[in-house]
C-alpha cells in the first residue's frame, strides 16, 4: 500500500489530524438528501439536458490522473460547441491552449471525466460525469468545427450521471450581478500572477503580457 506523502504545510497537517476518515462519519454531520435530490440523477442525456448543453458556451472539465492529482479547467466556445452524439455520448473539441495537456493526460490515464455546463445569467448548472476518452477519429473531428476547422482531438464522454446542479453557489456569489463585481485592478492580473510564479528577474510584466497576447491571437492553431 502506498504511503501518503508527508504534508508540507504544518497548518494542513494539524487540520488533517481531525479529518473525517470514513463515509459513515460524513453522514453523521449532514442530513440525508431529499427524495427529489436522490431521484433527479439519470444515466443518459435526456432532451432537457441536451437543450442546456446546446446553449452553454462554458463548461468546466474535471479530471484526475492515475496518481490521484486532480485538475479542473474551463472550456469555452459558441453555444453548442459541445456536441451531443446520442443519448449517452457527448464530444468536447479540444482547442489549442497552453499545450500542457493536463486534462488529456488524466483522461488517457484514468478514462474518467466530470463536466459542469454553465449558461451566463442562469444560476442552475448541469453536471455530467462518466467514462471518457481522447478521440482522434477523423469522422468525429470533422463534425466538431466551432472555430472553423477540425480540432486535433476531442474529449468524448459516455454519461453515467446526469443531473441539474443546485443553484446556491451562483446565487451566493452574485456572479451574474455586475454591481457585485470587483474593480478590474482589485486583484492581480493573470500576467502578474505568472510573473510572480516564475520568479525570473530577466522577465518583465511587459514580456508576460506580450506572450499572453500572442497565445490568444493564435489560440485555435
Ranges of each domain in the chain: 35-172, 182-217
Are the beta carbons of 207 and 198 closer than 8 angstroms?
no
How confident is the model at residue 136, as a pLDDT?
Answer: 96
How confident is the model at residue 27, as a pLDDT?
Answer: 86
How confident is the model at residue 127, as a pLDDT?
Answer: 97
C-alpha atoms less than 13 angstroms from C-alpha of 159 in its C-beta half-sphere: 26
Are the beta carbons of 114 and 155 closer than 8 angstroms?
no
Q: How many CB atoms lie within 10 A of CB 209?
A: 16
How confident is the model at residue 1, as a pLDDT?
Answer: 47
Give the span between the Cα atoms of 40 and 85, in whole angstroms: 22
How confident is the model at residue 177, as a pLDDT?
Answer: 94
The low-confidence residues of the chain, meaning pLDDT below 50, are 1, 220-221
Which is the CATH superfamily of the domain at 35-172?
Electron Transport, Fmn-binding Protein; Chain A (2.30.110.10)
How confident is the model at residue 219, as a pLDDT?
Answer: 54
Amino acid at each position: 500500500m502506498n504511503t501518503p506523502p508527508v504534508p508540507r504545510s504544518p497548518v494542513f497537517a494539524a487540520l488533517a489530524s481531525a479529518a473525517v476518515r470514513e463515509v459513515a462519519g460524513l453522514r453523521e454531520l449532514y442530513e440525508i438528501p431529499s427524495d427529489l435530490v436522490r431521484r433527479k440523477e439519470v444515466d443518459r442525456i435526456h432532451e432537457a439536458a441536451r437543450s442546456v448543453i446546446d446553449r452553454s458556451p462554458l463548461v468546466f472539465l474535471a479530471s484526475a490522473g492515475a496518481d490521484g492529482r486532480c485538475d479542473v479547467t474551463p472550456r469555452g466556445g459558441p453555444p453548442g460547441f459541445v456536441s451531443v452524439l446520442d443519448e449517452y455520448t457527448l464530444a468536447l473539441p479540444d482547442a489549442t491552449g497552453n499545450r500542457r495537456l493536463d486534462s488529456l493526460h488524466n483522461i488517457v490515464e484514468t478514462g474518467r471525466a466530470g463536466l459542469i455546463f454553465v449558461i451566463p445569467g442562469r444560476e442552475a448548472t448541469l453536471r455530467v460525469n462518466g467514462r471518457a476518452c481522447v478521440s482522434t477519429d477523423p469522422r468525429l473531428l470533422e463534425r466538431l468545427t466551432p472555430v472553423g476547422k477540425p480540432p486535433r482531438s476531442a474529449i468524448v464522454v459516455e454519461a453515467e450521471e446526469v443531473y441539474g446542479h443546485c443553484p446556491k453557489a451562483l446565487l451566493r456569489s452574485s456572479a451574474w450581478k455586475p454591481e457585485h463585481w470587483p474593480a478590474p485592478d482589485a486583484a492581480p492580473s493573470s500576467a502578474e500572477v505568472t510573473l510572480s510564479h516564475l520568479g525570473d528577474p530577466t522577465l518583465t510584466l511587459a514580456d508576460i503580457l506580450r506572450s499572453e497576447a500572442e497565445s490568444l491571437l493564435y489560440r485555435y492553431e
